[in-house]
Amino acid sequence: MKQHTVSTDLKSAGLKVTQPRLSILQVLEEAEQHHLSAEDVYKILLSKDIEVGIATVYRVLTQFEAAGLVTRHHFDGGQAIFELDTGDNHDHIVCVKTGMVSEFKAEVIENRLKEIATELGYELTDHRIILYGEHVESRLDKKTSKLK
């Protein structure tokens, strides 16, 4: 993402533009994996020769969460995972073996949730669905390790 856009994002969130904030926001915006732990962000920064301490990464991610730039997730038994808050409503499925997180959105589920809320006398304002399972690749790894 362009530096100007990143700094505009920070300013519009009410945060002072600093090099650590710019670097961390760029990591989040450019990452292929959209769900990163603070440690993941720190390792990516190190791999780019950007010197930011782990405590700074944690502090900045917490500031980003308070400003509405990121969402923090605590999936069962795992560490905090952060993702950019894009404003879209999506759900997650987590691999119980590897911790890998995938996003999904299914209109049929969204519609059924609204129907259920209406049937029970509610107007649905928000929801979170987290599914847990074993990703096919982790199951294949388990089978191959048994063969060795």
pLDDT of residue 56: 96
Lowest-pLDDT range of 53-62, 94-103, 118-127: 94-103
Query: Is the pLDDT at 88 greater than 50, yes or no?
Result: yes
User: What is residue 31's predicted lDDT score, i.e. its pLDDT?
Assistant: 86
Give me the domains of the chain, ranges plus CATH numbers.
Answer: 1-86 (1.10.10.10), 88-148 (3.30.1490.190)
How much of the chain, in percent, has pLDDT values that exceed 90? 45
pLDDT at 148 over 90: no
What pLDDT is attached to residue 6? 65
pLDDT, residue 81, reads 87
Indicate whether this model's pTM tops 0.75: no
- If DSSP states are collapsed to H, E and C, what string results for the chain? CCHHHHHHHHHHCCCCCCHHHHHHHHHHHHCCCCCECHHHHHHHHHHCCCCCCHHHHHHHHHHHHHHCCEEEEECCCCCEEEEECCCCCCEEEEECCCCCEEEECCHHHHHHHHHHHHHCCCCCCCCCCEEEECCHHHHHHHHHHHHC
What integer is the mean pLDDT of 131-136?
90
Q: Which has the higher per-residue pLDDT, 106 or 8? A: 106
From 5-19, 79-93, 133-147, the region with the lowest mean pLDDT: 133-147
Residue 66 has pLDDT above 60, yes or no: yes
What mean pLDDT value characterizes the chain? 85
